Amino acid sequence: MEQSVKQQSGSSVAASAGESVCRRLADYETVRLSEAGDAVEIIDQTKLPGRIELVSLRSAEDIYDAIYRLRVRGAPAIGVAAALGIYVLAGQIAAKDYGTFYREFVRRKEYLDSARPTAVNLSWALNRMQNVVECHKGESPAAVLGFLKQEALAIRQEDEEVCRRIGEHGLMLLKPGDGILTHCNAGRLATCRYGTATAPIYLGQERGYHFRVFADETRPLLQGARLTACELQAAGVDVTLICDNMSASVMQKGWVNAVFVGCDRVAANGDTANKIGTSVVAAVAHYYGVPVYVCAPTSTIDLNTPDGAAIRIEQRPEEEVTEMWYRERMAPDGVKVYNPAFDVTDHTLIDAIITEHGVARAPYEQTLAGIAGKRMAEESEK
């Protein structure tokens, strides 16, 4: 296999073609702070599965762009990248006094927060970081920076633990040999480890459950084909790639025992926004009596949003539908294109929402509020 090394904005690429790229993925972190603490390092996910390209992000524009262009993506990973990113940017603020530092911090934070609107983890992580600055009001910028680093690293560390706990709760809903259908990528590339929807699959794999996984390719950006199929195949999971319009077919044949998906925002009534096409999968699963499980860290639950209608859905460029990933344009010039990045799955189609604090079932207004309470109780014990 050819091994190419490419330099890009001060970072390197470790890459070869095809399956060996996927096998090597586990050697790299989805998102982390550079050793010197002056950059966010990511795997550029737009280059997968062709090659593993590691990129160092130092400027506000680079971090914003990496999130907007889905170089780093998936709700939890976006949150971690933003937390590490705002720490890196805070380190570049020249101010000597708290007031100037605070104003400059908030300006940069709001800029990063505007990169993508649907995943609540972005503003959740940035608000946590701002809270740290506010809790240390009046202290020197150097001292505040130390606390910001601790918080950013804590957000990253917690993500691993949260996903593992989601995996344990999810695994209890499955039996050895089950067929699982997943949409988009809610895997380790969308988090720091384990993923959310894939966490039960990874834990089951370690424990000999021999699941059969169907990964929707996930048009238009192919996160299922490029990312989920890649990471599950590398982990030795029995994964079969299907086109998005094949989910009814595999369910009709009885090959799917459960649907596991991630999400970008859970509203107070249990409606969830996830990658476009999730609601079709959920409706089809409902028809065939296949349970639909949404995996959500509590950082993805937004009790301030009453229902799915209030979730802002990101609209993406037309080219993603008409030409991206094709050798040549596959639509007539000038055709109208509608390209929402997410859709809302109605809570009535969701059998359970699996969090690190347990499994919530309808009525979601009550059970999600209960889960949020458990999270607050755990935090106050720390």
The footprint of ligand MRU on residues 271-310 (CB under 6 A) is 274-275
Contact call for residue 341 and ligand MRU (CB under 6 A): yes
Q: Which of 264, 271, 343, 351 is catalytic?
A: 264
Contact call for residue 182 and ligand MRU (CB under 6 A): no
Nearest CA-CA partner of 263 in 318, 221, 222, 313: 313
Shorter beta-carbon distance to ligand MRU: residue 244 or 264: 264
Burial 217-249, CB ≥16 within 10 A → b, else e: bbbbbbbbbbbbbbbbbbbebebebbebeebee
Smallest gap from residue 294 Cβ to ligand MRU (A): 9
The DSSP secondary structure of 207-232, one letter per residue, reads TT---EEEEE--TTTTHIIIIIHHHH
Pick the binder of ligand MRU from 40, 263, 311, 344 (CB under 6 A): 263
Q: Which two tokens stand for residue 303?
A: 């009790």
Q: Which two tokens stand for residue 363?
A: 């009525």
Smallest gap from residue 380 Cβ to ligand MRU (A): 26
Query: What SS3 class is residue 153?
Result: helix
Contact call for residue 169 and ligand MRU (CB under 6 A): no
Pick the binder of ligand MRU from 21, 60, 74, 200 (CB under 6 A): 74
The footprint of ligand MRU on residues 200-239 (CB under 6 A) is 223
Smallest gap from residue 119 Cβ to ligand MRU (A): 6
Shorter beta-carbon distance to ligand MRU: residue 81 or 133: 81
Smallest gap from residue 75 Cβ to ligand MRU (A): 4
Distance CA 319, CA 220 (A): 10
Nearest CA-CA partner of 132 in 152, 117, 112, 114: 152
Query: What SS3 class is residue 336?
Result: coil
Catalytic residue flag (residue 264): yes
Interface with ligand MRU (CB under 6 A): 70, 73-76, 119, 184, 186, 190-191, 195-196, 223, 262-264, 274-275, 341
What positions carry a catalytic annotation?
264
